Copies of this chain bind each other. A is one copy, B any other.
Amino acid sequence: MITLTTDFGLKDPYVAEMKGAILSISPNATLIDVTHEVEKFDVRMGAFMLASAAPYFPAGAVHLAVVDPGVGSERRTIVVQTKQAFFVGPDNGILMLAAQEQGIQRIHELSNPKFMLPMVSWTFHGRDIFAPAAAYLERGVEASEFGPQISNPVCPSFGSVERSNGCIKGEILHIDGFGNIVTNISGGEVAEAKMVELKLSEASLRIAVAKTYAQTRLKDAVVLVGSHGFLEVALNQASAAKKFIVKAGDKVEVSLLRV
């Protein structure tokens, strides 16, 4: 089983070229799209997508992720083996959020031309290097056969959380298609609260903590623990991101209120 996460979009033939390359090597592989609508070159968004989806796939899955602004430069290409799965992609941090959660066992460079397409282009390593690597892993080739082991992968620094004076400071990790605001603050931090004070952009808001969207009135705001375990700000059947005019990367501050 091989999953695919890219910023290639669905309008171009690039994703199909990758799938053709995979199926030419491993004709019986099951291919599942995570998303191909990552914003162009947005490694953080790609990392978040992959980390959200990977936990739900069976042991032994191969996760291919290509958001690769540095294609053709000196950036390395890698395979990461964890306790549950394999991750294949550029060494720019996109794989690490998901891989670290599963426990990394070893990381190897993809330098063995035996596991690439015969002609490697300068601009499309997704098709010429990463897709074949995923297909050979799926067929049982060992991670160590792809190239030398490395110990210094590029690690992302997606806004860690700070605490001061009872206030939790984090950032917006993602705005989903419903306009829900997913933060990087663990949902456990607010699970026991009934009400929080929230700073978003310039505004300061008092919002009730709920278990689910439908617990509030239509278009009212709630704070809840989203399906990924993170603190989420949402409206019931409307877009919180539009109402509060925020975007991924913006700062968020949360204080628990005693009611």
Q: CB within 8 Å of B: which residues of A?
A: 1, 3, 8-17, 19-21, 23-24, 27, 30-37, 40-41, 48-50, 52-58, 69-73, 121-124, 127-128, 176-178, 211-215, 224-227, 232, 237
How far apart are A123's CB and chain B's nearest CB, in angstroms? Answer: 5
Q: A12-B35, A33-B16, A52-B17 are in contact. Are A57 and B23 (CB under 8 A)?
A: yes
Q: Are A27 and B1 in contact (CB under 8 A)?
A: yes
Q: How many copies does the complex hold?
A: 3
Q: Which residues of B have CB within 8 Å of A127?
A: 56, 227
Q: Which residues of B have CB within 8 Å of A15?
A: 33
Q: Which residues of B have CB within 8 Å of A41?
A: 237
Q: A17-B53, A215-B72 are in contact. Are A124 and B23 (CB under 8 A)?
A: no
Q: A35-B12, A177-B11 are in contact. Are A20 and B53 (CB under 8 A)?
A: yes
How far apart are A26's CB and chain B's nearest CB, in angstroms? Answer: 10
Q: Which residues of B have CB within 8 Å of A24?
A: 56-58
Q: Are A72 and B40 in contact (CB under 8 A)?
A: no
Docked CA distance A40–B17 (Å): 22
Going nearest first, the 7 A-B pairs with the smallest beta carbon separation are A72-B212, A20-B56, A124-B227, A9-B177, A73-B214, A11-B37, A13-B52
With most chain B CB atoms within 10 A of its CB, the pick from A49, A72, A211, A215 is A72
Q: Are A214 and B9 in contact (CB under 8 A)?
A: no
Residue of B32, B49, B214 near A71 (CB, 8 A) is: B214
Q: Which residues of B have CB within 8 Å of A123?
A: 212-213, 224, 226-227, 232
Q: Are A227 and B35 in contact (CB under 8 A)?
A: no
Residue of B nearest to A41 (CB): B237
Q: Are A12 and B177 in contact (CB under 8 A)?
A: yes
Kindly list 15 other residue pairs between chains A and B, CB separation below 8 angstroms, not including A10-B33, A10-B36, A70-B214. A11-B37, A11-B177, A12-B35, A16-B53, A17-B56, A20-B54, A23-B58, A24-B56, A24-B57, A69-B214, A72-B214, A121-B226, A123-B212, A123-B232, A128-B227
Residue of B31, B40, B225 near A178 (CB, 8 A) is: B40
Docked CA distance A41–B21 (Å): 28
